[in-house]
Amino acid sequence: MHIGAIRAFIQANPQVVTEKLTTSGINREIVKPGTKHSMKPYINKYLEMTDPDTGIPFVSTATVFVSHAWKYKFYDVVFQVMEQHAS
């Protein structure tokens, strides 16, 4: 996912930051409920979207790999690491 998709995800789900959700918490509170009825991958929401500033697709070939544990705060680990690489 492009950093723009992560920004859009956080904007649409502010509890990621306000509740300091872990990746496990995001899966339990956002992803599973968001895919329960469609039974389709959560990433499908972002397949046709592009970054409004750059026009880069939200989902494309990866250029950076970020590994993290499910118990860590998503915003602190994933978003901030991606922001550093996007700068």
pLDDT of the chain along its 87 residues, tens only? 888 888 899 999 999 988 999 999 999 999 999 999 999 999 999 999 998 888 999 999 888 787 878 998 988 887 777 777 765
pTM attached to this predicted model: 0.80
Domain span holding position 82 = 3-86
Domains of the chain: total: 1
Which residues are CB-neighbours of 45 under 8 A, at least 6 positions away?
A: 34
Cβ atoms 10, 75 nearer than 8 A: yes
